[in-house]
Amino acid sequence: MNEHEMVRLIPSLKDFLWGGTRLKEEFGKNCDLEKVAESWELSVHRSGESIVAQTGQPLSAFLKENPGFLGKEHDSLDILIKFIDARDNLSLQVHPDEKYANEHENQHGKTEMWYIIDASEDASIIFGMKDQLTREQFRQAISDNTILEHVNRVPVRKGDYCLIQAGTLHAVGRGCLIAEIQQSSDVTYRVYDYDRRDKDGNPRQLHIEKAIDVTNLVPFESGVRNTEGLTTVMADNELFTVVYHPMSDKLVLKTSPASFTAVIFTDGSGSITHGSLTRHYTKGDSWLISAGDEDIVIQGSGECLQVTVR
């Protein structure tokens, strides 16, 4: 077996103003940044690319040198996986769908899913609208800073997960530690940001007209569920499939010639084996395994997310 059929990824780290220190202190994201808000674990996006630990290459260069790694009919990596540590509230924001993003941003749209790795006792997220608003009412609520009165705030706890379709107004609340699986896009339209200032004292940019264009203003159920510590298919759609696995001893993951497998360890330590290769894993590690038919065997404790595409 080629030793590069299972690789560990070194993330791109972001120090946004709302971030904390848990990704440094608990997840091994060692760096000189004072805080790490986001850790882009699996990414070929130009805003922050992962590095392959074994070769030192940007992930895009590695994949170009290893055709077939991603699986049959997949010649590009169209998802992005990150950890998010919200010491403070993130901005209220929305992402466009594929059509709008292609036309206006020359990028993918952004549908995403969240897995709540941990949450403080009073943690919550904002998910969609509580009230039905017209476009003009939406614009007025943004203008007079009353938009938070119209959104749906959902308490969350460890183990919760949800799918956030493009067009859904949303925000991560303070005290949430999240694994996010999303389309490979960095298009965000901010609607409200608590009048926060950047390091130079300037208000952070809002994107009101584009947000009005793309936001779904119809109230709907958030769909937040909890794994209850059991193996759970958290998402299974045309963009990505995400399965949560608790681990206490031995876990066997099936692979497929149709798709790569990403394994994201959100807790624990032990060994991961693919064919004749065995490597150590620890909390915060992300591994990328080539498409094929050799099982992935994990021995140890903790929990992981298994991510594939159709």
Catalytic positions are 190
Q: Which residues of 160-199 are buried (b: 16+ CB within 10 A; e: fewer)?
A: bbbbbbbbbbbbbbbbbbbbbbbbbbbbebbbbbeeeeee
Residues sharing a CB contact under 8 Å with residue 147, sequence separation 6 or more, in sequence order: 92, 138, 141, 191, 192
Q: Which two tokens stand for residue 50?
A: 């992962």
* Local structure of residue 174 (DSSP, 8 states): T
- CB 274: neighbour CB atoms within 10 A? 23
> Which H helix or E strand runs over 166?
none
Q: In this structure, are residues 151 and 130 in contact, taking their beta carbons and an 8 Å threshold? A: yes
**Any idea of the CA torsion for 190, 191, 196, 199, to the nearest 10 degrees?**
20
Residues sharing a CB contact under 8 Å with residue 139, sequence separation 6 or more, in sequence order: 208, 212
